[in-house]
Amino acid sequence: MSSCPRCSPELAAAPWSGYSLDCPLSGGDHHYHPCRGSHGCQTKRTRVPQAAAAFSNQACGMGKRQEMMAPETPRGISEAASLEQELLDEYRFGRQQLVELCGQGSAVAVAKAFPLSSGSRKQRTVLVVCGPEQNGAVGLACARHLRVFVSSRVLWRGTELGWGSAGDKNWGGLPPAAAITRPRFPQDYQPSIFCPARSADALHCDLTTQCEKMDIPFLSFLPTEVRLIDDAYRLVVDAVLGPGVRPVEAGGPCARALATLKRLSIPLVSLDVPSGWDTEAGGNAKDEVQPDVLVSFAAPKSCASRFSGRHHFVVGRFVPDDVRRKFGLRLPKYIGTDCVAAL
């Protein structure tokens, strides 16, 4: 049995038999020496006294729940651009690949915040407003993924069952096929898309074709009377502008669409940054859209500190560990196979 000669007698007597947990402050492994009064992190596994590891875990708030809910370090627009360029240049991610990953994660976030749980038609209708920039491409991918999501609820002898219900015990997780009657309510999301300004970009064109082939309707105009939108849809996805793009730069159609989104009564889900917000400073409650849900890509941007909505998700599981460490990202722990995490 060995001990740390610099620690207190209690810790000095502790066997160096345990490994520390991953330190969220650095992305590496965590060890702690009380005699040094500071934390040390390294990427290689380090043996530490069990008592010291327990003390350090408590000091860092590294219980399972705390580690999952650890706040992100907000990214400025230049740092966010550098992170994306790192993925494109050094790790050979493709632009379409990143759009797909963010689009799928956005759709999953929508499904988590607004699950299919009601029989009314409105409960499954989603309007996705897509601008001409990259955020608009993510919105198109999000709509396509939503189109193929279905509820896991079925009817068994007239009773609605979901996975994990009492019916699982009798049928091994699924009632017999002959016993499943036709559902009394639609089980899939029904997205519609509105593009204030169409883009000639090849990726936009490809994603538009995919959505059209999957029978996702495109609106020819966005009603200026918000009551029509409130009555027709359960929620709206804001994919109009991306980080650093101001309404005046995007042109009149996008500015008019945002003017309508500001007045909605139904929930608004913004992708990466709420459209029109200053990426660094945030938005003004009177002049900008105020989303109920924010879905950040890779890591929250600086303006996320001004977000006061109900749900904040981050889509960043695809970010390699070395990139996380290089940019000092404190990404949350993702549960199971989830591609998004709640902050």
Q: What are phi and psi of 236, to 5 degrees?
A: -125, 135
How confident is the model over 107-113, as a mean pLDDT? 95
If 0-12 CB within 10 Å is exposed, 13-18 middle and 19+ buried, where does residue 333 land? middle
Question: Where is average pLDDT lowest: 101-105, 135-139, 223-227?
Answer: 223-227
Q: Which tokens go with 199?
A: 């883009």
Rounded-to-integer distance, Cα 173 and Cα 292, Å: 34
* 150: confidence class by pLDDT, cuts 50, 70, 90: confident
Question: Could you tell me the end-to-end alpha-carbon distance of the chain, in angstroms, rounded to an integer?
Answer: 41
Structural contact between residues 313 and 272, judged by C-beta atoms closer than 8 angstroms: no
Q: Give the pLDDT mean for 96-125.
A: 88
Contact 295, 313 (CB under 8 A): yes
Closest CA to 270 of 131, 100, 84, 94: 131
Query: pLDDT tier at 31 (50, 70, 90 boundaries)?
Result: very low
Phi then psi for residue 331, to 5 deg, are -75, 145
How high is the pLDDT of residue 234?
94
pLDDT of residue 304: 86
pTM tops 0.85, yes or no: no
**Confidence band for 339, pLDDT divided at 50, 70 and 90:** very high
CB half-sphere exposure, 100, CA atoms < 13 A: 9
- pLDDT tens for residues 249-302? 666 899 999 999 999 999 999 999 999 888 776 555 567 899 999 999 998 888
- Mean pLDDT, the chain, integer: 74
Q: How far apart are alpha carbons 234 and 72 in whole angstroms? A: 29
Are the CB atoms for 295 and 315 separated by under 8 Å? yes
Q: What is the pLDDT of residues 47-80, one digit of tens each?
A: 333 333 333 333 333 333 333 334 444 556 788 8
Closest CA to 146 of 130, 167, 170: 130
pLDDT of 14: 40
